[in-house]
Every structure is written in C-alpha cells, then in structure tokens.
Amino acid sequence: MTDIIVCKFGGSSVANSNQIEKVRRIVADDDQRRIVVVSAPGRIDSNEQKITDHLINIATGGAHFREQRLNIGAAASKEAVIKRFSGIIQDLGVDTGNLLSELRRDLETSLHGERRIAFLSSRGEHYNARIIAAYFASKHGMKAEVKLPEDFGFQVSDEYLNAQLLEPSYDKIATLLDSDVIAVVPGFYGVTERGEVAVFSRGGSDLTGSEIAHALDAARYENWTDVSGVFEADPRLISRARAIPRLTFKEIRLLSSKGFNVFHLNAMLPCRERKIPIHIRNTNKPSDPGTVILSERVPEEGVVGIARLDNVAYIYLEKDQLGEEIGFTAELLSIFQDFGIQTYHYPTDKDDISVVVNQNDLTGTINDLRRRIEQKLKPDFMDVVYNLSILTPVGMGLKGNSFPMVDALGALGDAHIPIEMIDQSPSQICFHIGVQHAVADVALQILYDTLIG
C-alpha cells in the first residue's frame, strides 16, 4: 500500500469558482492528496442543468432535454456551456490561453452517433480539469498539472457510452506518480485503442477515481460531494435521515444498485479488490466525519439504509409448467439481452415468472419485445405492470434476522399500503418491497420510521 490519497470531486463541488476554491483548500490541506479527479460542472441551483446534460443535449440535437420535457434546445445548451466555462475562468481570474476557442471548436464536432455523444459529453470533465489545474498552479503556486486520459494512456473499451477500463491502463496510471506534482485528472472518460473518446456510464467519474486508487494501491479513496456522506435514505425524501458512519463494500453496492445515486454502483469494485477504504465527504463541510466504506464492520442495527428505485415495471408470463422447462428462463432473459434491456430480478414459480426492468427501457420497444416473447416462448398469458417503486432496506444485521422484515410488512399493512411484490435477496442482507409509485413516499417514510428512525 502507498500513502497516496486519491480524491474525486463531484459536479456539485466544481460547479463554480467558489466551489473550486473550496476544492483547492482541501487538496492543499494534506500533501498525501496527490491525485485529484474532477467532474464536469454540476448544478449551481436546482433549476440549472448539469453541464454534462447540456453537452448530451447538444450531441442529440435537443432530444435529451425534450425527453425530460425541458424546453432547452441544442443552441441554448451550447450557449449555456460556453457561458458557464467563461464565467468560471473569469471568476477564478486564471489565464487559460485559447481554451475557450478549443471548446467552441469541439462543440462543432462532425462525429456521429455514439462517438459524438461520448466525445461531447466528455468535454465537461476535459475542460474543467484543465481550468482547475491552471488555477491551482498559477494562483497559489501549488505544483499541479492536468493529466489527460489521452496523454497518459487511460485506455478503455470501445463501448462508447458504457466503457470499461482496459488492463494496460493500470501501468499507465502508475506513471502519474513519476513526478511530485499534484495530478488533476478529468473523470468519466478514457480513450479507446484507436484514440477515440469513450465514456463510462453516467456518474462515472466515481469510477475513474476508484480505478486510479486501485492502480496506485492508494491508502484511501476520498469521494467529495455536496452531502456529508451516505445517508440512511435519500435526504431529499426523508429530511430526518442522517449520515451513516460506516458501511461495507457489499452494503454500498446494494444501496447504490437499488437507488442511492450518491456513489456509482460499480465504483466500489476496484477498491474492494485491494481493500482500499472509500471515504464519502462533504466539500462544503470538510470537518464532518462522512461515511467510511470498508470490508467489514460489526452491525449494531438490523437495517442501515433504505434505498428507493422508481420507474420500475415488470413483465409477467404464465405458462403451464414453465418452471420445469429447462432453458425457459435462459431463453426469456436472452430476449431481454437482445433488446439491450437490463433485468433486475426474475421471481419464478411453477407456472409463472416475472421479469423486473427499468420502465424507461421499454419505451419504444415494448411491442417488439412482446411479439418476440410470444413467438419464441408461446406463453398462455402475458402482462406488463408499470409505475412501481422498489424500496430496499439493507444491512449486514439482516442476515439470519427476519424481525425487521416482519416489522416492515406489518407497518405497511397497518397503513393499508398495498404491496405489489416482496423478494429477499439471496445474501439475506436486503429485501425488496414493490409498491405503486403513488404510495412510495408514504411507504418509504413508514419503513424509515419503523426500521431506522
């Protein structure tokens, strides 16, 4: 293990010059903080959009915001991106040469399809890292340099919008420590073998930081955001929720995959492999203790957090003895795979099965999907149920302890909340309760009060 700390600052921490100054102070405060991964500027306030969303909107000719029913065209997004970066440069008072003309040129790229979306959506991180490194170095005499993925060889697969890091990158990442400068690295993107830009899935700067921590065998991976750690429930939904002091890698994996969007669900994997603690901290309150994520902890409670996933649908099939038909489930799941639809659970019984999915993935494909299932598997009955929310209590203390599950169902029953689905995870450290979206707020509140509050 080295004594290096890898820090990642999320979009909210680098959204404007005030935030960037807070980042500079945090980095300067500990000389072990040698790697600084930065995101694109995030929201300054809730009616602003993230720069990455503006960039995707430019790439898609305005379709990205149209899908979210936002009336912001591609030209307006272009203006917003340029305005935000020129504002940051001006407010920081830093000389960035012809960086803004480079940005304008990049926004006019002639790339098409996924390559276009990947390239444009990476520009937020790319330009922010260059500006932040210039600010660190020129204004305060810090020894800092930008290290771009295309220069040091952060190589990824050519799945342009869902890239994976390639093995040779690990040796290249190690070269970041060749000199004693602080390396400012843009998160979220890498380059393919052919030198094209490919991005991780959304929120993927967390992954950049985690992969770098892994490659350098860092002492710690600090993930700086705008909340004081991982909360027991989304703090926007449960105002009483508190930061969780300690979580295991397994617990954060389950919470992130079931709706906590504070930390990318795959970002714990590279750290887990080398037992590198992850520390989630608040850029606006650096003295708050935050949440530490590690290999093991002694649970003092049953449930440590409750995640919520909205926009869930399931496809339900009935066919006599399908549960005995070897290969039925495999064939059904391969149809979803052919349509590029990720499946979450597939509870099965003797004569029926349901497949749980993100309902946005069914937009535009559901009719073709149904047709293909009918042709291939000839079910007796098929139905699609939309607008569910899945609530997932998680905690190491649930293993072998069914009381919280009983309490949860009892409390929802007392409140006459209809339950659409129940499922216990094979690990026994979480269970899922599906309810109609319309009652999800009340149901989450009841579960919080019963299991944690």
Binding interface with ligand ADP (CB under 6 A): 10-13, 39, 42, 203, 225-227, 230-231, 233-236, 260-262
For 137-174, b where at least 16 C-beta lie within 10 A, e where not — what string?
A: beeeebebebbbbbebebbbebebbebebbeebbebbe
Q: Which residue has the tokens 């949440």?
A: 291
- State the binding partner of 262 from ligand ADP, ligand PHD, none, CB within 5 to 8 A by kind: ligand ADP
Q: How many CB atoms lie within 10 A of CB 376?
A: 12
- SS3 call for 393: strand
Give the shortest CB-31-to-ligand ADP separation in angstroms.
24
Question: Measured at CB, which residue is nearest to ligand ADP?
Answer: 10
- CA-CA distance, 423 to 171, in Å (whole number)? 43
Comparing CB distances to ligand PHD, the nearer of 206 and 222 is: 206
At what angle are helices 440-451 and 403-414 packed, to 10 degrees?
130
Give the shortest CB-352-to-ligand ADP separation in angstroms.
34
Task: For residue 305, list its beta bridge partners.
Answer: 394
Give the shortest CB-450-to-ligand PHD separation in angstroms.
31
65 is an interface residue for ligand PHD by CB under 6 A: no
Q: Which amino acid is at 216?
A: L
Closest CA to 36 of 3, 9, 18, 15: 9
- CA-CA distance, 432 to 419, in Å (whole number)? 11
Question: Measured at CB, which residue is nearest to ligand PHD?
Answer: 11
- State the binding partner of 190 from ligand PHD, ligand ADP, none, CB within 5 to 8 A by kind: none
Query: Pairing relation of β-strands 246-248 and 291-294?
Result: parallel
- CA-CA distance, 53 to 57, in Å (whole number)? 6
11 is an interface residue for ligand PHD by CB under 6 A: yes
Q: Which tokens in the block code for residue 369?
A: 């999907």
What letter would DSSP give residue 380?
A: S
Give the shortest CB-242-to-ligand ADP separation in angstroms.
10
Give the shortest CB-123-to-ligand PHD separation in angstroms.
10
Give the shortest CB-54-to-ligand PHD separation in angstroms.
10
Comparing CB distances to ligand PHD, the nearer of 24 and 50 is: 50
206 is an interface residue for ligand PHD by CB under 6 A: yes
Could you say which of 60, 192, 205, 450 contacts ligand PHD (CB under 6 A)?
205
- SS3 call for 40: coil
Q: Which amino acid is at 379?
A: P
- SS3 call for 340: coil
149 is an interface residue for ligand PHD by CB under 6 A: no
Comparing CB distances to ligand ADP, the nearer of 232 and 361 is: 232
- State the binding partner of 40 from ligand ADP, ligand PHD, none, CB within 5 to 8 A by kind: ligand PHD
- State the binding partner of 230 from ligand PHD, ligand ADP, none, CB within 5 to 8 A by kind: ligand ADP
- SS3 call for 44: coil
59 is an interface residue for ligand PHD by CB under 6 A: no
- CA-CA distance, 125 to 139, in Å (whole number)? 21
203 is an interface residue for ligand PHD by CB under 6 A: yes
- State the binding partner of 226 from ligand PHD, ligand ADP, none, CB within 5 to 8 A by kind: ligand ADP
259 is an interface residue for ligand PHD by CB under 6 A: no
For the CA atoms of 28, 32, 38, 43, the dihedral, rounded to the nearest 10 degrees, stands at -60
Stretch that binds ligand PHD, among 199-207, 284-292, 369-377, 427-435 (CB under 6 A): 199-207
Of residues 163-192, those binding ligand PHD (CB under 6 A): 187-188
Binding site for ligand PHD (CB under 6 A): 10-11, 39-40, 42, 50, 52, 124, 187-188, 202-206
